[in-house]
């Protein structure tokens, strides 16, 4: 390792990161680095200036996934020059090893010092995004990066569907909450094997673990990535799977995830503020009902119909009927937020109640007519929902 790279301690000049994202997982083998690499490449392909920092000191894989295994780092006398692929800058300890198979046998303080130098001494320049690939767990490296990199936008948490994986990911979410780091969302990787011959999907590891986890902790569920053989082929070839074109099912799924992540970063919500022009693929709509029709008086509602909606295909299904808790001040917004509801279609609702739902990132449409939940959601998806006067403003 070049000596000047280990002794330079002055922060690199003119370094600014507009957005900072850490990619975490509770356990290894769930595809966290694959997600981090393809996220960085997707952002760079959209024209953003992106940095990808690999802080997995003992098992760095980012350079190999990008076809950069033979690259080394240089110093210009004022800082370390990262490896560049167009508008993507990459930094990893793998660039400093004499041989790819060399083991890094370091204790915590040495790892912390190197991470600080990667952040402070690298000539990153001005970046739109810095994506940090952390090793699995909640140990030295994730803690060091989160304490050193101030004002992190949030964490992207990666899991696979099975319970043993989601159980460990819960610790990552707890880690974020203890450090006051927002969880931008959960991604479920290896979600069903796609047969390359017939296209049939087999749930090798089960399904739904990531979405259940997100619902439990009231954080966004960004989507799933299938267990596609093309992913392994792409990683071994040093070519991100998002570069494999529209025929790659994993690339299609990942494009939805990146779109949702950007929406969370820029608006704090998965969904557009223009409620009659939905854009994202999945959402949950809650409708207060009485006798299977909209209850015009929201404050008197005892049951909600929750609809599972795909705004891309303009389809909806009745997910569940929820019995409302006691109508104590401020309770309903928190309760529906815990059920991951994104939108309420109501007949009438007081202004204070609307404000409380907005604080929970739940949009509200008032003045809807007395129809069945299915009819209201169909009108909403078609852009024909007629919202009249607020039927009950108390």
Is this model's pTM higher than 0.85 or not? Answer: no
Report pLDDT digits (tens) over 12-54: 444 589 999 999 998 788 889 999 999 999 999 999 999 999 9
According to the model, what pLDDT value does residue 393 have? 55
- Residue 111 C-beta-side C-alpha neighbours within 13 Å: 21
CB atoms within 10 A of CB 393: 12
Cα dist from 56 to 16, 38, 217, 293, whole Å:
23, 17, 26, 54
Query: With a cut of 70, which residues of the chain have pLDDT below it?
Result: 1-15, 194, 198-201, 245-247, 267-281, 311-314, 391-394
According to the model, what pLDDT value does residue 394 have? 54
According to the model, what pLDDT value does residue 276 have? 35
Say how far apart CA 385 and CA 26 lie, in whole Å: 43
According to the model, what pLDDT value does residue 242 have? 87
**Reduced 3-state DSSP string for 72-113:** CCEECCCCEECEEECCEEEEEHHHHCCCCCCCCCCCHHHHHH
Angle, helices 249-267 vs 32-45, to 10°: value is 70
According to DSSP H, which parts of the chain are helical? 32-45, 62-65, 108-120, 140-148, 163-178, 209-217, 229-237, 249-267, 331-338, 351-359, 373-382
According to the model, what pLDDT value does residue 65 have? 93
Whether the Cβ atoms of residue 50 and residue 97 lie closer than 8 Å to each other? no
Question: Which domains occur in the chain, in start order?
Answer: 3-267 (3.40.50.300), 282-382 (3.30.420.130)
Say how far apart CA 234 and CA 64 lie, in whole Å: 11
φ, ψ of residue 232 to 5 degrees: the values are: -60, -40
CB atoms within 10 A of CB 120: 17
According to the model, what pLDDT value does residue 274 have? 33
According to the model, what pLDDT value does residue 265 have? 85
Torsion of CA 358, 276, 343, 309, to 10 degrees: -150
Say how far apart CA 358 and CA 269 lie, in whole Å: 11
Q: What secondary structure does DSSP assign to 348-386, as a single string?
A: B--HHHHHHHHHTT-EEE-S--S--HHHHHHHHHHT---
């Amino acid at each position: 390792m070049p000596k000047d790279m280990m002794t330079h301690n002055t922060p690199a000049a003119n370094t600014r990161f507009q957005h900072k994202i850490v990619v975490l997982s509770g356990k290894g083998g769930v595809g966290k680095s694959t997600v981090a690499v393809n996220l960085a490449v997707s952002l760079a392909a959209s024209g953003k200036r992106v940095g990808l920092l690999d802080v997995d000191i003992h098992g760095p894989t980012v350079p190999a996934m990008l076809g950069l295994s033979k690259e080394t780092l240089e110093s210009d006398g004022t800082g370390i020059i990262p490896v560049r692929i167009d508008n993507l800058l990459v930094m990893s300890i793998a660039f400093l090893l004499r041989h790819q198979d060399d083991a890094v046998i370091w204790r915590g303080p040495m790892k912390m010092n190197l991470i600080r130098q990667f952040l402070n001494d690298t000539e990153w320049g001005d970046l739109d995004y810095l994506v940090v690939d952390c090793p699995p767990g909640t140990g030295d490296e994730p803690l060091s990066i989160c304490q050193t990199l101030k004002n992190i936008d949030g964490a992207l948490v990666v899991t696979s569907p099975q319970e043993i994986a989601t159980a460990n990911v819960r610790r990552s979410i707890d880690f974020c909450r203890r450090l006051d780091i927002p969880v931008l969302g959960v991604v479920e990787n290896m979600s069903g094997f796609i047969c390359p011959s017939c296209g049939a999907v087999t749930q090798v590891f089960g399904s739904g673990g990531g979405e259940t986890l997100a619902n439990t902790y009231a954080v966004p569920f960004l989507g799933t990535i299938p267990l596609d053989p093309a992913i392994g082929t792409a990683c071994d070839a040093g070519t991100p799977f998002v570069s494999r074109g529209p025929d790659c099912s994993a690339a299609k799924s990942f494009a939805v995830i990146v779109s949702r992540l950007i929406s969370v970063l820029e608006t704090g919500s998965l969904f557009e503020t223009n409620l009659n022009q939905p854009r994202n693929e999945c959402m949950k709509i809650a409708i207060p009902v009485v006798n299977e029709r909209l209850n015009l008086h929201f404050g008197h509602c005892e049951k909600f119909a929750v609809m599972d909606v795909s705004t891309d295909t303009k389809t909806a299904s009745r997910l569940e009927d929820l019995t409302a808790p006691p109508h104590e001040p401020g309770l309903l917004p928190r309760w529906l937020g815990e059920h991951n509801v994104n939108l309420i279609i109501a007949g009438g609702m007081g202004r204070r109640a609307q404000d409380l739902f907005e604080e929970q990132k739940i949009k509200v449409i008032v003045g809807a007519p007395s129809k069945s939940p299915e009819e209201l959601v169909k009108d909403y998806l078609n852009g024909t929902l007629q919202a009249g006067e607020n039927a009950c403003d108390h």
